[in-house]
Amino acid sequence: MQRKFLKDMISIIAGIPGENIVDILDEKKYVNEFLIAKKLDITVNQVRNVLYKLSDQGIVSYIKKKDKRKGWYTFFWKLENLRTLELLESFFLKKIQDYQHQIKSRENKLFYVCNRCSIELTEETALAYNFICQECGSVFDIKDNSKLIKDLRRGLERTESDLAELKEELAKEKLKADKVVAKKIKVAEKDKIKEREVKKKERQKRLAVEKSMRESKSKDKSKKRKHKFSRFKFKPHTAHVSSRKLNKSKKKKKR
Ligand SMILES: [Zn+2]
């Protein structure tokens, strides 16, 4: 059903040749324009002409890749389903409005015809001509609108049921698009969490390094302090001992 709608819209925008493109193009991956041209049996320029028209409306999108050897660009095209269905929805809505407007006008206003010349006029124009045909001199007849109104009503009903079906397809397509967005958000969130964890680990590492540096510094300080302390405590003592020893030895020498 969706394919039919896509084809309808493309036919409206690009004319009949665009219709076959739906069967060749994909909604997920880009297709090489040379392949499209080959399948449609037309030139690449003709393909581009049709697809440019469609891309103006957002029905297709493209990426281009430069051929490194030849230096020219090759285009790759993709169908934009959601956008196309949305366009068709607004087209149907407009069409429904037109039908309703015409039906109302045919039901409430009088129209006149010259059956000989097959001309139709509004009441105002017929009045301005005094209800006499300027071409053949016949008197205008009041137009019987009943068949036309019936046709318009049928057209309106058909378009309304088309719109209802289209809305179902559109809802499916929107759901798909939402899922894609949700997936992207999820991936982005996962990336963020990963990034946060990496940063956390880095911070912890840095803190650990800083801590060990602090600790080794304080060890150094306490060593120095001990060293100073030992100088004050033991040196005088050793000096004292040594002086006593010295005295003893002096005494020994005296004896
Ligand atoms: Zn006439």
pLDDT higher than threshold 90 for residue 251: no
d(CA 84, CA 115): 44
d(CA 223, CA 215): 12
- For tokens 């394919």, name the residue: 3
pLDDT higher than threshold 80 for residue 233: no
d(CA 198, CA 94): 55
* 43: three-class secondary structure by DSSP: coil
What is the rounded average pLDDT of the residues 134-157? 96
Distance 63 CA to ligand 1 centre (A): 59
Domain boundaries, the chain: 2-79, 84-198
Average pLDDT value for the chain? 87
Q: Give the model's pLDDT for residue 17.
A: 65
Render 217-253 in DSSP notation, one character per residue: HHHHHHHHHHHHHHHHHHHHHHHHHHHHHHHHHHHHH
Distance 146 CA to ligand 1 centre (A): 22
Greatest pairwise CA separation for the chain in angstroms: 173
Distance 107 CA to ligand 1 centre (A): 24
Beta strands in the chain (DSSP E): 31-32, 60-66, 73-79, 111-114, 119-122, 141-142
Distance 139 CA to ligand 1 centre (A): 8
**Spatial contact of 7 and 14, defined as CB atoms under 8 Å apart:** no
Q: What is the pLDDT of residues 176-196, one digit of tens each?
A: 889 989 999 999 999 999 999
Q: What is the pLDDT of residues 38-72, one digit of tens each?
A: 998 989 999 999 899 899 999 999 999 998 888 88
Distance 109 CA to ligand 1 centre (A): 21
pLDDT higher than threshold 50 for residue 89: yes
Q: Give the model's pLDDT for residue 230.
A: 53
**Spatial contact of 111 and 120, defined as CB atoms under 8 Å apart:** yes
Ion ligand 1, residue ranges at CB < 5 A: 114, 116-117, 133, 135-136, 138
Distance 122 CA to ligand 1 centre (A): 15
Whether domain 2-79 has CATH 1.10.10.10: the reply is yes
First to last CA, the chain: 131
Distance 73 CA to ligand 1 centre (A): 61
**Spatial contact of 50 and 94, defined as CB atoms under 8 Å apart:** no
Q: Give the model's pLDDT for residue 255.
A: 47
d(CA 3, CA 70): 37
Where does the pLDDT of residue 234 fall: very low under 50, low under 70, confident under 90, or very high at 90 and above? low
What is the rounded average pLDDT of the residues 157-168? 96
Q: Give the model's pLDDT for residue 229.
A: 56
Better pLDDT: 55 or 18:
55
